[in-house]
Chain A
């Protein structure tokens, strides 16, 4: 078991979770919660919110694990999508409760694009597909990479990104366009 690739191990656990195996869910949680909590934190920006999102995501995984077989995604990417989608739901619910959502302190943004400290990519448990993306994202400037990642993770438009990152709209558009162009050239080699 331990000698299997991380992907195969995760796939086997998801399969057992589909059979309502609580122990398998616990193992899956132990293996993936730090990674997925990291994603949740990047999507919603606050630790306590991210914990709610992680909880909802695992309940979703528990309920729909049987659907995984039908996808062609690497397991961590599949779970990452669930976390992102629960996170976006969470933000939409909050946005309808509170108009001043964007004014709140964001634990993530305060020390990424706006600040100087680099936000290193983490390749622990990354699938081969993620490795390719990692190679290509690594060629972008730190800030371009951040803008592309946040646009995706938070499902933001150019103007929403500009507002959240306190950057001029033109700058955001240029970074996104160049970022995607460079990714396109780079990813084509891995296809």
Chain B
């Protein structure tokens, strides 16, 4: 049967194609023909357009009001993500970028975003600031604590709480997430002062609560802390991080 001399057949095939009931080999043959035949191609497009109005003729029904709330939350999250991307592209000082070389290979796209978010003054997400203020409130009873940080993973789940007591030069780290490093690895804590290389604050053992010694000068002017996964025992003294950034977060001065 020669389809080219049979307009009724062309229409029928184009309609079945657009409806979706033309299947398998017949559908592939139609597609091959349509690539060479503008009339057939046009007929298929006309039918696709006509049938798209089937969706306009369906009976209405009321969705639950919860649907809009969910959409609204997702849209807000989407907007925040776009703002973060914009922040990532925003120019920052050359001195800061220089130190980033050390982080290259540390798969730090997420960390970078978080670090830059702090630099450009974007607010931390509300859940996180909620955790920080809750923690800060608890800590007002312990006046020695001057700094706190909640280090989170790339899904913004809290993984480590950090407090710093300058009087006793003590950093206390409490694991709150389920993360456990393998036996041949160690977690290492880094201060990320702006404009200079990351500075190691120590290596964590496997205990749920870890105490490290740090001088007040190590912690002042440090906007961000990060945890990397390193070989067991951490990197040699004086060298920079080598493993991926697992957790990071802003270091915040507690209200006096």
Contact = CB atoms under 8 A, between A and B. Distances in A.
Interface of A: 20, 22, 25-26, 29, 33-35, 37-39, 41-42, 50-51, 54-55, 58-59, 62-63, 72-74, 76-78, 80-81, 83-84, 119-127, 129-130, 132-134, 137, 148-149, 151-153, 155-158, 176-177, 180-181, 183-184, 187, 191
Contacts of B67: 33, 37, 51, 54-55
Nearest to B74: A59
Contact of A37 (B16, B52, B57, B60): B60
A59 B62 contact: no
B63 A59 contact: no
A184 B15 contact: yes
A42 B58 contact: yes
A124 B60 contact: yes
A130 B53 contact: yes
Interface of B: 11-12, 15-16, 19-21, 23, 46, 49-64, 66-68, 70-72, 74-76, 78-79, 82
A126 B60 CA distance: 12
Contact of A129 (B15, B49, B66, B68): B49
Contacts of B12: 177, 180-181, 184
A59 B67 CA distance: 11
A152 B22 CA distance: 11
Contacts of A149: 54, 57-58
Contacts of B62: 34, 37
A122 B50 CA distance: 16
Contact of B64 (A51, A73, A187): A51
A157 B79 CA distance: 40
7 contacts: A33-B63, A38-B58, A42-B58, A55-B74, A72-B49, A126-B57, A177-B12
Nearest to B8: A184
B60 A74 contact: no
Given A76-B55, A157-B23, 11 more contacts: A29-B68, A35-B56, A35-B58, A37-B62, A41-B61, A55-B74, A77-B56, A127-B53, A152-B51, A183-B15, A191-B46
Chain A CB within 10 Å — which of B51, B58, B76 has the most?
Answer: B58
A80 B63 contact: no
Contacts of B55: 39, 76-77, 80-81, 83-84, 153
Contacts of B66: 51
B57 A122 contact: yes
Given A55-B74, A151-B21, A50 B63 contact: yes
Nearest to B76: A22
B78 A39 contact: no
Nearest to B46: A191
Contacts of B79: 20, 22
Nearest to B20: A155
A179 B241 CA distance: 69
B19 A37 contact: no
Nearest to A124: B60
